[in-house]
Amino acid sequence: MSNSTEQHYTPGPERRGFLKRFAAGVIGAVVGIVPLLSGLVVLLDPLRRKSAAGEFTYVAPLGAIPEDGTPRKFTILASRTDAWNKAPQTPVGAIYLRRTGPKTVSALNVVCPHAGCFVEFQGANKSYYCPCHRSAFALDGAIASASPAKRGLDALEVEIRKDNEVWVKFQNFLAGTSDKIPT
Q: How many chain residues interact with ligand FES (CB under 6 A)?
A: 11
Q: Which stretch binds ligand FES (CB under 6 A): 64-72, 91-99, 125-133, 150-158?
A: 125-133
**How far is residue 91's CA from residue 75's CA, in Å, rounded to a whole number?**
6
User: Is 160 a binder of ligand FES (CB under 6 A)?
Assistant: no
CB 44 within 8 A of CB 136: no
* String marking each residue 79-118 x if it binds ligand FES according to CB under 6 A: ---------------------------------x-xxxx-
**How far is residue 44's CA from residue 41's CA, in Å, rounded to a whole number?**
5
Specify which residues 94 forms β-bridges with. Answer: 75
Neighbours of 87 (CB within 10 A): 12
User: Is 151 a binder of ligand FES (CB under 6 A)?
Assistant: no
User: In whole angstroms, what separates CA 82 from the centre of its chain?
Assistant: 19
Q: In the bound complex, what is the minimum distance in angstroms from residue 140's beta carbon to ligand FES?
A: 18
Residues near ligand FES, by CB under 6 A: 112, 114-117, 130, 132-133, 135, 148-149
